[in-house]
Amino acid sequence: MSINRINKAILCANVGLRSIEKIDFYTSASNPVMKDFCTFFLPSLKYSNYNVSWSFHPVTNGEEKIVLFPKNNDVHIINLKLYKYSQQVYDRIVFLDTKFYDALP
């Protein structure tokens, strides 16, 4: 299977977040990882998860993060300094959603 087919399969997949209710992005407009994430992954996530609340907050002091609010009223913070590629951020959000869903009673 060619890399283009793999990329198309990943980018066009319908990924429904089952346990995350809200996602807050605290990032600068110049962050290349978040630029790619917003270009390639965020549109499909928003389309598949119309019930999830999304908000963006500009940050200038370098404290870039993503805050996830799952249904169990917990809060999880993803530090964007740890990620080099937007695919890693996407994978982490999907992985955490699965972990949160498995932890629900």
Task: Show me where the domains of the chain are located.
Answer: 3-103
Report whether CATH 3.40.30.10 matches the domain 3-103: yes
> So what's the pLDDT on residue 99?
94
> What is the pTM for the complete model shown?
0.85
The Cα 35–Cα 9 span in angstroms is: 21
> So what's the pLDDT on residue 4?
72
- DSSP code of residue 72: T
> So what's the pLDDT on residue 103?
87
Regions of the chain short of the pLDDT cut 70: 1, 6-13
| Residue of 59, 44, 57, 58 whose CA lies nearest to 93 | 44
> So what's the pLDDT on residue 48?
87
> So what's the pLDDT on residue 7?
67
> So what's the pLDDT on residue 9?
67
